[in-house]
Amino acid sequence: DPNSDIRLKSNHVSRTHAEVHAEPGGSVYVTSLGAVPVRVNDEEVPTGTSRELFTGDKIFVGIEEARMREILFEGEDDTVVLGREACPPQQSARAGPASPKHGWASED
């Protein structure tokens, strides 16, 4: 989805698998939107629900653990940094109009 700020190159991630958004107070949440739930650390985030994210959290997106794409809240190689400073309320992770929501999807 070209409107997503975070796009993963994977056949195992739906076009709108999850959304990361910052609340006005600075809290950051991930919402699981796909048929296959997102996992934060070792905990499943059921589809249609949200979970608050904290520094050091790992977000897993995919259909099985061996093939899951990992996004670390504190970036390493091949990761996206989503620290509270990177997603302040009313500001997008990409240049352009202000947007407090950051979704990710496959590029397919």
Range scoring the smallest mean pLDDT among 68-72, 77-81, 83-87: 83-87
Total of domains in the chain: 1
Question: 1 in a domain, yes or no?
Answer: no
pLDDT of residue 99: 38
Range of the structural domain that residue 19 is part of: 6-106
d(Cα 92, Cα 103) in Å, to the nearest integer? Answer: 11
Pairing outcome for strands 69-72 and 101-106: unpaired
Q: What tens digit of pLDDT does each residue of 26-69 get?
A: 888 989 987 778 888 889 999 999 999 888 788 887 754 433 44
Helix/strand/coil for 67: helix
Q: What is the pLDDT of residue 49?
A: 94
pLDDT reported for residue 93: 40
Beta-strand relationship, 28-32 and 18-22: antiparallel
Condensed to tens digits (0 to 9), the pLDDT of residues 90-102 reads: 333 433 333 344 4
Q: Which residues contact 70 (CB under 8 A, 6 or more apart)?
A: 58, 59, 60, 79
The CATH number assigned to the domain holding 96 equals 2.60.200
Reduced to 3 states (helix: H, G, I; strand: E, B; else coil), residue 19 is strand
CA dihedral 60, 65, 67, 73 (to 10 degrees): 20
Residue 87 lies in a domain: yes
